[in-house]
Structure 1
Amino acid sequence: MEKTRNLVTYLQAAPLAVVLLGFLIAPIVMIVIVSFWGATEFSIYPAFQFDNYAFLFGSPVTYKVFFATFKYAIITWALTLSIGFTIAYFLAFHIRTQAIQTVLFLLCTIPFLTSNIIRMISWIPFLGRNGIANQALISWGVIDVPLEWLLYSDFAVILAFVHLYTLFMVVPIFNTMIRIDKSLIEAAYDNGASGFQTLKHVIIPLTKPGIMIGTIFVVTLVMGDFITVRFMSGSQKANVGRLISNDISLLQYPSAAATAVILLCTVLIVIGVLLRFVNIRKEL
């Protein structure tokens, strides 16, 4: 009887295990294997060598690109957290009826009904030298000449990242806040806590799982993105995703695979560090 139950359990888990093996584990294993291969200008040959990793770790460009990637990720995380927490707090505690909460939340998702690339490119005519932003500032007398740094700069890249990924911070934080027992907040006020003290000692600690989930989403998406950096910087800036994309365009697949492995390990380390601050499985 026990063997039959175990067999049924294994059979039930088998389809999911096959999907994970075929679409997650196998591709990662293939990337790791290819990262040790060699390449010339005209061919790729199977091998087991560390030339790709030695080149990456020995090049100062690699460190500059990773630094830029972390810079984009940290700044985007800070801005999306500030905006996302504020929106989620407003929806969870200042909107009393669930129907209005749902409507306002759906309004936040409307931009996601269009392509990321379309939403990103829409900033270009707004931020351009003769764009809406510069023309408005000139007409108001704020500036005399157009601002050059609005477009094709780190500012434009981070602005696009924040626009694209803020909702990934709003959703988990709102989902956590909406389940906070309102009697805890009332008890804090009854005991003389101010609004800031209630926020600091009650709401934020109870919202940590949502903050961590949103942080993981935003950080991993920004670190793996490459098209946003390419378009919004005018190909003047680079991150790890662009480094991989450039290697692929040059048919240097082993080098691209090695960079992808390093990026994957870096992201996993970042996620591991984040999970040290809160036990998401326990608190959810």
Structure 2
Amino acid sequence: MLHHARWTSYWQAAPLAAVFLAFFILPLIVTLVVSFWSYTGYSIEPAFIWDNYRDAFDRCVESLPDLCTTFRTYLSTLKFCLTVWLLTLVIGFTIAYYLTFEIRSSTVRLVLALLCTIPFWTSNVIRMISWVPLLGRNGLVNQALMGAGLVEQPLDWLLYSNFSVILAFVHINTVFMIVPIANSMSRIDRSLVEAARDAGATGWQILSNVIIPLSKTGIAIGSIFVITVVMGDFITIGIMGGQQIASAGKVIQTQIGALQFPIAAANAVVLLAVVLMIIALLVRFIDIRKEL
């Protein structure tokens, strides 16, 4: 009887483990293997060569102190990632705080939380395309600005620019910050806040010394979601950037479109390594297992 009880938990976890193996581990292994294959304009041949990784960082050493194309692309991607992370963190934390500490009714809190998920009711592509009639040269925003006399001619930087890419990223990914942070805040004992307030702490002191430290696990989880999505994205940058802005994900997508699978796989492995290093840095300071 004890023998069967010992294996019960393993059998319960087996279906999820099988799905994880089939749809995550095996594709990663295949990608890693293909990244060492050789290819020409007409064929792909199994091999074990480092040429694809050399091509990914072609002439990066020789171009020093200037940055090569690959490093400039990753630097641009990291800038987008950092900017979007900061904006989604501020907006997500503010909304999560309001939902958790300012709304007393659980029904109202649930309704407002569901409203935050409305962007997920439509596809990302539709949400991004919806910005075009708003931010375009003849869009509603430019018409309103010109009608109010604030500008004399349409603003070209509202669409197909870094601004529009960041705006779309924030629009899409803020909910990934709201949910885990709100979950962490909901677990904070209200007596700690009341004790700090009774001790004479200001609102800012309560926020910085009580709420933020106790919400750091949710902040880390939300950060992982946002960073992972932004670093590998190519659809948002392609549509909102007018196919004019480079990113690590966009480079991989272009190489796949040209049927250059081995070098695309090599770039995917490099991108995965960069993302894992960022995540490792986050989990080094925060124990995410407490939230799971």
**TM bucket normalised to smaller:** over 0.9
TM-score if structure 2 supplies the norm length?
A: 0.94
Q: How many residues align?
A: 284
Which of 187, 193, 217 aligns to 1:185? It is 193
Deviation at 1:109, TM superposition (A): 1.2
Q: Which ranges of structure 2 fall in alignment gaps of 5 or more residues?
A: 60-67
Q: Which ranges of structure 1 fall in alignment gaps of 5 or more residues?
A: none
Matched, 1:111 2:119: yes
Aligned to 2:46: 46
Which of 235, 238, 253 aligns to 1:227? It is 235
| Aligned residue identity for 2:55 | F
Please say which of residues 55-64 and 217-226 is displaced more in the overlay. Answer: 55-64
Aligned to 1:13: 13
Query: Percent of pairs identical after alignment?
Result: 56
Which of 51, 71, 77 aligns to 1:69? It is 77
TM-score if structure 1 supplies the norm length?
A: 0.96
| Aligned residue identity for 2:185 | M
Aligned to 1:272: 280
Deviation at 1:178, TM superposition (A): 1.5
Deviation at 1:14, TM superposition (A): 3.0
Aligned to 1:146: 154
Aligned to 1:281: 289
3-state DSSP class of the match of 1:166?
A: helix
Aligned to 1:27: 27
Aligned to 1:86: 94
| Aligned residue identity for 2:37 | W
2:218, 2:291 within 8 Å by CA — same for their partners in 1?
Answer: no
Looking at structure 1, the residues matched to 114 and 91 of structure 2 have their Cα atoms a distance apart, in angstroms, of 17
Aligned to 1:133: 141
3-state DSSP class of the match of 1:42?
A: coil
* CA displacement 1:88-141 (0-9 Å, x = unmatched): 111111111101101111111122111111011111111111111111111111
Looking at structure 2, the residues matched to 10 and 98 of structure 1 have their Cα atoms a distance apart, in angstroms, of 37
Matched, 1:215 2:218: no
Deviation at 1:74, TM superposition (A): 0.4
Matched, 1:56 2:64: no
Which of 253, 258, 264 aligns to 1:256? It is 264
Deviation at 1:4, TM superposition (A): 4.3
* CA displacement 1:137-191 (0-9 Å, x = unmatched): 1111111111111111100100000000000101111111112111111100100
Deviation at 1:2, TM superposition (A): 5.4
Aligned to 2:214: 206
Looking at structure 1, the residues matched to 147 and 253 of structure 2 have their Cα atoms a distance apart, in angstroms, of 41
CA RMSD of superposed structures (Å):
1.3
Deviation at 1:57, TM superposition (A): 1.6
2:184, 2:291 within 8 Å by CA — same for their partners in 1?
Answer: no
Aligned to 2:65: none
Looking at structure 1, the residues matched to 279 and 109 of structure 2 have their Cα atoms a distance apart, in angstroms, of 31
Aligned to 1:101: 109
Matched, 1:239 2:247: yes
3-state DSSP class of the match of 1:269?
A: helix
| Aligned residue identity for 1:171 | V
| Aligned residue identity for 1:119 | R
Looking at structure 2, the residues matched to 33 and 120 of structure 1 have their Cα atoms a distance apart, in angstroms, of 35
| Aligned residue identity for 1:69 | T
Aligned to 2:205: 197
3-state DSSP class of the match of 1:270?
A: helix
